[in-house]
Amino acid sequence: MSAGRRGAFFVFEGCDRSGKTTQSRLLAEFFKSKGIPTLSMIFPERESSIGQVINSYLTNSKDLPDEVIHLMFAANRWEYMNKIQKELLAGTTLIVDRYSYSGVAYTVAKGLDYDWCYAPERGLIKPDAVFYLNTAPDNLSSRGKYGEERYEKLEFQHKVAEVYNRICERESSYWHEIDASQPVAELHTRISGIAEKLQQQVKGKPLDKLK
């Protein structure tokens, strides 16, 4: 894959209620305020037919085997890959709330094999940076609406956090671990500082794939 002046690809990861959505929004507003073409996306993308099945699963109105829902989350990313590639190559900076690492973290936390979980993610476009909002899940359960969706249970979130920490070590070259217990404005200052530099640096770089 080669590119002229492409956009940057940023991903937010973390346990449920870690503040990803707020920080994604603030980062998108930051780039837009500088006149940089920016698009926000959220995975799972619940609008597609696959996304609707995922939504039924997450809201507990449908049950599926762990392997099946795992592959559906991955398929949901693959169905948006052409769009992601097109937008990045057209110069749009993408800010994505959850990506392949959520897929791996949540399914490995259920006890499935790491390599099996990662396999369907290979070949997807690799982000330029992942902002990992990390804090003890105990600090998160008091946040609004916690517990409404399938995975919002403290014990499970602890397991998810353990897998995220492993991924963070493995992928340290482009993962940025951020202490999510800091005030929103401080988090944003730190994240936007890193993102702004990268957005300039990656302009002439080809897109990479998850290997």
Interface residues toward ligand TMP, by CB under 6 A? 16, 43-44, 58, 73, 98, 102-103, 106, 149, 151
Strand partners for 179: 134
Q: Is the dihedral of CA 72, 76, 79, 84 positive or negative?
A: negative
d(CA 152, CA 137): 10
CA distance 206 to 37: 18
Compute the least distance from the CB of residue 200 to ligand TMP, in Å: 28
For residue 137, how many other CB atoms are within 10 A of its CB? 22
Query: Phi and psi (nearest 5°) for 9?
Result: -120, 105
Nearer of residues 98 and 126 to ligand TMP, judged by Cβ? 98
Residue among 80 and 151 whose Cβ is closer to ligand TMP: 151
Q: Closer to ligand TMP at the Cβ: 3 or 112?
A: 112
d(CA 180, CA 164): 14
User: Closer to ligand TMP at the Cβ: 159 or 203?
Assistant: 159
Residue 93 vs 157, nearer CB to ligand TMP = 157
Nearer to ligand TMP, 3 or 64 (CB): 64
| Nearest distance, CB of residue 109 and ligand TMP, angstroms | 9
CB of 107 to ligand TMP, least distance (A): 7
d(CA 83, CA 61): 29
Could you tell me which residues come within 8 angstroms of residue 182 by beta carbon, excluding any fewer than 6 positions away?
A: 190
For 113, left (φ over 0), alpha (ψ -120 to 50), or beta?
beta
CB of 10 to ligand TMP, least distance (A): 15
The distance of closest approach from Cβ of residue 73 to ligand TMP in the complex, given in angstroms and rounded to an integer, is: 3
Least separation in angstroms between CB 110 and ligand TMP: 9
In this structure, what DSSP letter does residue 174 have?
A: T
